[in-house]
């Protein structure tokens, strides 16, 4: 009878193991449309009995072990939402349940984010974590390896932005055929003050009498609301009828000198001007602008020239921007969260870090596409996208489920057949047991 009971034990272990396999396969099929879902497998391990004599065979049965495929990349698919983001390669998004740096960090590959009514970037109530950056994209956190220094990404605090003009670059030609009697060649550049307002800075070039290759350079604000001072190697100078800047050109049409004269003395013009804004009541309005002028270098043709052709501007640029209102955000492949304004400015405001683990398949899966670290996975290794050990962010995309329907149905068929076979063995063992019991009555 002991042999029959051993058989029943083996069949029971097999039914339990294959039932676990069916459950795992059912989970995988059920999550075939779940974003970022990582499949699980059922592995079968034989059980060997150590009881009995050496010449006796005592069956042990089978047990099942669940394995995870968290380290496997899913297919990336484009979406219509600019808030969606996938990871191509290694890494996990880091999130917290509440807006609290002491709250436990969880991990996920599901980047179907949204903005809540408080301006936080969330997914199903989980707050996406990041680092704040300055306007140049530099992370403002000194400890990039600590989860406690992460903070939820919030964008509602952004309202408006402007950029003060601090540099004006001008390239072009002042015609060598220009005569003293000819009207000045003028060009206007729109610049912006500390209040985000625009002003038209006018450059005026005219040929000077008695100087073969000398051109007077004058500056003015078309609106007439500024005082302009010239920066020289002798300090600030005022522009007047007898105080002005001029440019000398050599025989090759290249600048040979940038100068300022007050009618008596001559100084080196430092290619810098100061513009002070005066309101209608005579009080200073916006902050004074310190503007670096890039007009070219002495002895080169990389800025202003004086050739035979007509006077014209070939390139101009200033780095200011008018006042602009916040419009929206975007992500990029490096993980930056960029704010966009209606004046055309784009500023990085956060950077989304990624987490990785020594043994990612040792993480624990929870409902809602959430993963927790465990002693088996090890501690989180935090880094930036597109750096060694981490993947690339893919805005406007999501990672599809790993479920392979052909594999899952094949496994389901295999587990079902095994279950039916073991049920048949169970029936046979019952019949043998009944026969044996009947024979001793």
HSE (CB half, 13 Å, CA atoms) of 419?
15
Q: Which residues of 304-323 are buried (b: 16+ CB within 10 A; e: fewer)?
A: bbbbeeebeeeeeebebbbb
- φ, ψ of residue 341 in degrees (nearest 5): -120, 160
Domain ranges of the chain: 2-69+402-439, 76-161+326-399, 165-319
pLDDT score for 110: 95
Residue 242, Cβ density class (10 Å: 0-12 exposed, 13-18 middle, ≥19 buried) = exposed
Query: Has residue 300 got a pLDDT over 90?
Result: yes
Position 32 confidence tier, pLDDT thresholds 50, 70, 90:
confident
CB 328 within 8 A of CB 201: no
Lowest mean pLDDT among 108-117, 194-203, 380-389, 429-438: 429-438
Percent of the chain with pLDDT over 70: 83
| Residues 156-195 pLDDT 10s | 777 777 889 999 999 999 999 999 999 999 999 999 988 8
Q: Alpha-carbon distance 17 to 40, whole Å?
A: 15
> Residue with structure tokens 């550049």?
189
Where is mean pLDDT largest: 154-163, 248-257, 394-403, 432-441?
A: 248-257
Query: Has residue 100 got a pLDDT over 80?
Result: no
Lowest mean pLDDT among 48-52, 257-261, 348-352, 434-438: 48-52
- Concatenate the DSSP letters of all residues of 314-352 into one string: EEEEE--EEEEEEEEEEE-TT-EEEEEETTS-EEEEEE-
Q: Tokens standing for 212? A: 């073969």
Domain 165-319: CATH architecture, name and number where available: Sandwich (2.60)
DSSP letter assigned to residue 307: -
| Residues 122-134 pLDDT 10s | 999 999 999 999 8
DSSP letter assigned to residue 196: S
* 214-221 and 198-207 beta bridge pairing: antiparallel
pLDDT score for 205: 96
Where is mean pLDDT largest: 25-29, 103-107, 276-280?
A: 103-107
Query: Has residue 240 got a pLDDT over 80?
Result: yes
CB 107 within 8 A of CB 147: no
Strand partners, 136: none
Average pLDDT over residues 214-233: 87
Query: Has residue 53 got a pLDDT over 60?
Result: no
CA 367 to chain centre: 27
Of the candidates 38, 54, 16, the residue with the CA atom closest to the CA atom of residue 415: 16
Of the candidates 374, 391, 336, the residue with the CA atom closest to the CA atom of residue 107: 374
Position 10 confidence tier, pLDDT thresholds 50, 70, 90:
low
How far apart, in Å, are the Cα atoms of 147 and each of 101, 122, 126? 8, 18, 15
Q: Alpha-carbon distance 58 to 54, whole Å?
A: 10
Q: Alpha-carbon distance 231 to 413, whole Å?
A: 85
Strand partners, 215: 207, 247
CB 168 within 8 A of CB 294: yes
Q: DSSP 3-state assignment of 19?
A: helix
CA 189 to chain centre: 33
Q: pTM for the complete prediction?
A: 0.66
Please give the residue that has the higher pLDDT: either 206 or 30.
206
Please give the residue that has the higher pLDDT: either 293 or 441.
293
| Residues 142-151 pLDDT 10s | 667 788 889 9
CB 352 within 8 A of CB 329: no
Position 426 confidence tier, pLDDT thresholds 50, 70, 90:
low
pLDDT score for 438: 64
Q: Write the CB contacts of 73 (distance below 8 Å, at least 6 apart in sequence).
A: 88, 89, 399
Residue 96, Cβ density class (10 Å: 0-12 exposed, 13-18 middle, ≥19 buried) = buried
CB 14 within 8 A of CB 422: yes
């Amino acid at each position: 009878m002991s042999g029959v009971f051993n058989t029943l034990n083996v069949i029971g272990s097999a039914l339990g193991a294959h039932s676990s396999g069916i459950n795992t396969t059912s989970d995988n099929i059920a999550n075939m449309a779940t974003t970022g879902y990582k499949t699980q497998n059922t592995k079968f391990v034989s059980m060997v009995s150590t009881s009995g004599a050496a010449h006796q065979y005592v069956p042990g049965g089978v047990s099942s072990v669940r394995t995870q495929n968290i380290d496997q990349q899913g297919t990336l698919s484009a979406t219509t939402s600019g808030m969606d983001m996938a990871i191509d390669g290694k890494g996990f998004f880091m999130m917290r349940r509440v807006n609290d740096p002491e709250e436990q960090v969880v991990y996920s590959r599901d980047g179907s984010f949204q903005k809540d009514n408080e301006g936080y970037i969330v997914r199903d109530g989980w707050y996406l974590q990041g680092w704040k950056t300055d306007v140049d994209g530099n992370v403002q956190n000194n400890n990039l390896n600590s989860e406690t220094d992460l903070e939820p990404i919030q964008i509602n605090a952004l309202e408006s932005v402007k950029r003060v003009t601090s540099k004006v670059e001008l390239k072009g030609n002042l015609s060598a055929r220009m005569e003293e009697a000819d009207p000045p060649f003028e060009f206007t550049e729109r610049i912006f003050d500390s209040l985000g307002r625009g002003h038209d800075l006018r450059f005026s070039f005219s040929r000077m009498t008695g100087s073969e290759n000398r051109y007077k350079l004058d500056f003015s604000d078309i609106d007439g609301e500024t005082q302009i001072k010239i920066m020289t190697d002798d300090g600030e100078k005022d522009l007047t009828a007898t105080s002005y800047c001029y440019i000398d050109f050599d025989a090759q049409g290249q600048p040979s000198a940038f100068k300022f004269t007050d009618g008596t003395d001559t100084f080196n013009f430092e290619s810098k001007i100061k513009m002070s804004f005066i309101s209608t009541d005579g009080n200073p309005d916006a902050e004074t602008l310190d503007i670096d002028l890039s007009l070219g270098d002495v002895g080169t043709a990389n800025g202003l020239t004086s050739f035979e052709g007509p006077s014209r501007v070939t390139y101009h640029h200033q780095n200011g921007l008018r006042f602009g209102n916040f419009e929206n955000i975007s992500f990029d492949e490096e993980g930056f969260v960029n704010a966009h304004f209606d004046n055309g400015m784009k500023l990085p405001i956060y950077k989304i870090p990624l987490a990785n683990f020594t043994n990612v398949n040792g993480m624990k899966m929870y409902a809602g596409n959430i993963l927790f670290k465990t002693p088996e996975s090890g501690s989180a290794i935090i880094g930036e996208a597109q750096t060694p050990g981490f993947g690339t962010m893919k805005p406007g995309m999501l990672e599809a489920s790993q479920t392979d329907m052909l594999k899952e149905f094949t496994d389901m068929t295999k587990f079902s057949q095994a279950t039916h076979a073991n049920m048949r063995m169970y029936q046979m063992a019952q019949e043998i047991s009944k026969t044996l019991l009947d024979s001793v009555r």
